[in-house]
Amino acid sequence: MAQDASSLVSPLKCSRRGEDETETRKSVFDPHSLDSNLIQKMGYEALVWSSLHGLVVGDRNSQKSGKVPGVGLVHAPISLLPMPFPESHWKQACEVAPIFNELVDRVSLDAEFLQESLSRTKKVDAFTSRLLDIHAKMLEMNKKEEIRLGLHRSDYMLDQQTNLLLQIELNTISSSFAGLSVLVSELHRSLLHEFKQHLSLDPERSPLNNTVGQFAEALSKAWAEYNNPRAVVMIVVQTVERNMYDQHWLFTVLKERYQVRSIRKTLAEIDAQGEILPDGTLVVDGEAVAVVYFRAGYTPSDYPSESEWSARLLIEQSCAIKCPSIAYHLAGTKKIQQELAKPNQLERFLENKDDIAKVRKCFAGLWSLDDSSIVKDAIERPGLYVMKPQREGGGNNIYGDDVRLALQRMQKEGMEEDAAYILMQRIFPTISPAILMREGISHKEHVISELGVYGTYLRNKTKVIMNYHSGHLLRTKVSSSDEGGVAAGFAVLDSIYLV
Ligand code: ADP
Ligand code: MG
Ligand code: MG
């Protein structure tokens, strides 16, 4: 529900410093009541800023925009102004990021836990099954990943009723928007400065955001650990990628700041051009590869033929550093998220009681579909649940009445298909007014937001070289939409204004 309109003082008015904190929290940030001339002016400035600073994506109306850089660019879908977000919850998400990084690392080392937790899923989900096969092959070979690099993004929604920050999921593969998240924060700060008199908002309340710098630093340090000055970082890409500028940002910073070269290859190209030397070195197109960074390979459509699977296997067998390794990839599945939420599971991987409590506090209700009482409840009250398969990239979940229909069908058919899914408590964030900009046009909408906090982790054997929270991203979508993908066209990039 939107905030109480009766407490509206003036548009975008926030309490001045020194006023009591509860006042600040209550203060209303209502961009809908801004003067339409002002909205137009700010929108125009936002479009100019985005175009000049590279806050751009490929335009789906232009045919070559997913293949050729510089062709068919459009400003990224954005929120015109940052979204008020409680500072305490933002800090909470930053504080748990290193603990989640460590948790992923520990889970990735427990091969039996991964294989066992996903064993029922394996029978009914061909994609997860193939990933597990690669994982099993590595176990057979006794393959050890001594240098481990994690570039994660843990996503949260703030549940309105309980005021709890609850984790939606933890992405361990292809966590996107390291580049554009920084830019949208900068855009918002610049608008807050420029229109200060009209908005009376404090630009300092928009926290600095350096995801791209920290991701590049992590990649450069991983590259240095590999210790071959001639080697490159290889970005595994999809054949068509409209979010390529986000990726180019990261690799431009890597090149300019750390003088590390990179190459972009699809899985099919890696299959055709790749080989492993007797010493384990991965060579692709004549270049030794130090780090493989995946921005593809997380969804079944990235593997249209056996070539792509053999490329994934080739990478895994090599001694290149994988971001992520197959074990990190599996540790980020929804099934593992659900297993870790069971009683006494976190204790298997973490020792520190405070850390365990902090992580657990972020867990929403998560259940396996072999829990008959939850399935019964979900059939009766489907709106309170989300049903999730082991997929990434948005657009795969089941909501509302479809949850009931899917569960009933599976019950009737008595198949094991239910093992492909988990059930999750549906989170209901506060609905706020916002102005969203797409293709040069501003829209007044009622929206909900999802906070993503990035994490970087690098270790070599027993030495933890990096373990940090590393920037943030807010994604905002119209409240009537179930799914939140920016690339899928539902959500926009946004940033936080601390309250
Ligand atoms: P993916 O890996 O495909 O991004 P997610 O688990 O993040 O899968 O789900 C996609 C989107 O669905 C999220 O960005 C969010 O908007 C919505 N969503 C997922 N889980 C929940 C939930 N428990 N409550 C409300 N919305 C959810
Ligand atoms: Mg995901
Ligand atoms: Mg997601």
Q: Tell which residue, 36, 35, 33, 38, has the closest CA to residue 10.
A: 33
Would you say 495 and 188 are in contact if contact means Cβ atoms under 8 Å apart? yes
Lowest mean pLDDT among 169-178, 200-209, 277-286: 200-209
- The mean pLDDT of 137-156, rounded to a whole number, is 98
Comparing 394 with 209, the larger pLDDT belongs to 209
| Mean predicted lDDT score pLDDT of the chain | 93
Ion ligand 2 — residues with CB under 5 Å?
A: 169, 171, 392
Cα 156 to Cα 136: distance, rounded to the nearest angstrom? 32
Please report which confidence band the pLDDT of residue 485 belongs to, taking 50, 70 and 90 as the band edges. low
- The mean pLDDT of 333-342, rounded to a whole number, is 98
DSSP at 304? S
What is the structure's pLDDT at 489? 64
What is the structure's pLDDT at 486? 73
Is residue 53's pLDDT more than 90?
yes
The tokens for 311 are 């490329």
357: CA distance to ligand 1 center in Å? Answer: 23
What is the structure's pLDDT at 432? 96
Model confidence over 87-110: pLDDT tens digits?
999 999 999 999 999 999 999 999
Atom nearest to 490 CA in ligand 1: 16
Q: Please work out whether the CB of residue 158 comes within 6 Å of at least one atom of ligand 1.
A: no
3-class DSSP state of 323: strand
Atom nearest to 484 CA in ligand 1: 16
Model confidence over 227-266: pLDDT tens digits?
999 999 999 999 999 999 999 999 999 999 999 999 999 9
What is the structure's pLDDT at 490? 73
Atom nearest to 364 CA in ligand 1: 23
Q: Please work out whether the CB of residue 366 comes within 6 Å of at least one atom of ligand 1.
A: no
The identity of residue 311, as a single letter, is A
Model confidence over 352-371: pLDDT tens digits?
999 999 999 999 999 999 99
**With a cut of 0.90, is the ipTM above it?**
yes
Lowest mean pLDDT among 36-40, 389-393, 484-488: 484-488
Q: Please work out whether the CB of residue 451 comes within 6 Å of at least one atom of ligand 1.
A: no
- The mean pLDDT of 342-352, rounded to a whole number, is 98
Ligand index nearest the alpha carbon of residue 391: 1
The identity of residue 89, as a single letter, is H
168: CA distance to ligand 2 center in Å? Answer: 9
H or E segment at 494? strand 491-494
Is residue 113's pLDDT more than 90?
yes
Distances (CA, A) of 356 to 110, 155, 328, 340: 18, 18, 20, 11
The tokens for 421 are 């899914």
pTM reported for the whole predicted model: 0.94
Task: State how beta strands 287-294 and 321-323 pair.
Answer: parallel
Number of other residues whose CB lies within 10 A of the CB of residue 417: 16
Interhelix angle for 306-317 vs 126-140, to 10°? 30
Q: Tell which residue, 176, 170, 140, has the closest CA to residue 155.
A: 170
Q: Please work out whether the CB of residue 329 comes within 6 Å of at least one atom of ligand 1.
A: no
What is the structure's pLDDT at 415? 78
Cα 254 to Cα 181: distance, rounded to the nearest angstrom? 17
132: CA distance to ligand 1 center in Å? Answer: 23
Q: List the residue whose alpha carbon is closest to atom 22 of ligand 1.
A: 426
Comparing 320 with 1, the larger pLDDT belongs to 320
**Which ranges of 265-364 would DSSP assign to H, the alpha helix?**
267-273, 306-317, 326-331, 334-340, 346-349, 353-361
Percent of the chain exceeding pLDDT 90 equals: 90
Q: Which residues lie closer than 8 Å to 434 by C-beta, 6 or more apart?
A: 31, 79, 80, 81, 83, 444, 445, 446, 447, 476, 494
Domains with residue ranges and CATH for the chain? 5-364+427-498 (no CATH), 365-426 (3.30.1490.50)
Q: Please work out whether the CB of residue 339 comes within 6 Å of at least one atom of ligand 1.
A: no
Q: Please work out whether the CB of residue 469 comes within 6 Å of at least one atom of ligand 1.
A: no
Q: Which of 170, 334, 362, 386 to mutate to test the pocket of ligand 1 (most atoms within 8 A of CB)?
A: 386
- The mean pLDDT of 305-312, rounded to a whole number, is 98
Model confidence over 55-81: pLDDT tens digits?
999 999 999 999 999 999 999 999 999
Would you say 397 and 421 are in contact if contact means Cβ atoms under 8 Å apart? no
Cα 204 to Cα 498: distance, rounded to the nearest angstrom? 9
Q: Please work out whether the CB of residue 452 comes within 6 Å of at least one atom of ligand 1.
A: no
Cα 272 to Cα 117: distance, rounded to the nearest angstrom? 34
Number of other residues whose CB lies within 10 A of the CB of residue 115: 15
Cα 385 to Cα 403: distance, rounded to the nearest angstrom? 8
Catalytic residue positions, numbered = 153, 169, 171, 176, 334, 388, 392-393, 475
Please report which confidence band the pLDDT of residue 200 belongs to, taking 50, 70 and 90 as the band edges. confident
Exposure string over 150-183, b if 16+ CB within 10 A, otherwise e: bbbbbbbbbbeeeebbbbbbbbbbbbbbbbbbbb
**Which ranges of 341-475 would DSSP assign to H, the alpha helix?**
346-349, 353-361, 372-380, 401-413
Q: Please work out whether the CB of residue 54 comes within 6 Å of at least one atom of ligand 1.
A: no
Ligand index nearest the alpha carbon of residue 172: 2
- The mean pLDDT of 213-233, rounded to a whole number, is 98
Is residue 14's pLDDT more than 60?
no
Percent of the chain exceeding pLDDT 70 equals: 93
What is the structure's pLDDT at 6? 30
Q: List the residue whose alpha carbon is closest to atom 2 of ligand 1.
A: 392
Cα 394 to Cα 171: distance, rounded to the nearest angstrom? 12
Residue with tokens 């550093």: 321
**Which ranges of 141-232 would DSSP assign to H, the alpha helix?**
178-194, 196-199, 211-226
Is residue 226's pLDDT more than 50?
yes
Number of other residues whose CB lies within 10 A of the CB of residue 476: 26
396: CA distance to ligand 1 center in Å? Answer: 9
Lowest mean pLDDT among 28-37, 378-387, 458-467: 28-37
Ligand index nearest the alpha carbon of residue 395: 1
- What are the two backbone dihedrals, phi and then psi, of residue 75, each rounded to the nearest 5 degrees? -60, 145
What is the structure's pLDDT at 71? 97
What is the structure's pLDDT at 414? 81
What is the structure's pLDDT at 488? 62
Atom nearest to 396 CA in ligand 1: 3
Model confidence over 16-44: pLDDT tens digits?
333 333 333 344 479 999 999 999 999 99
Cα 265 to Cα 297: distance, rounded to the nearest angstrom? 12
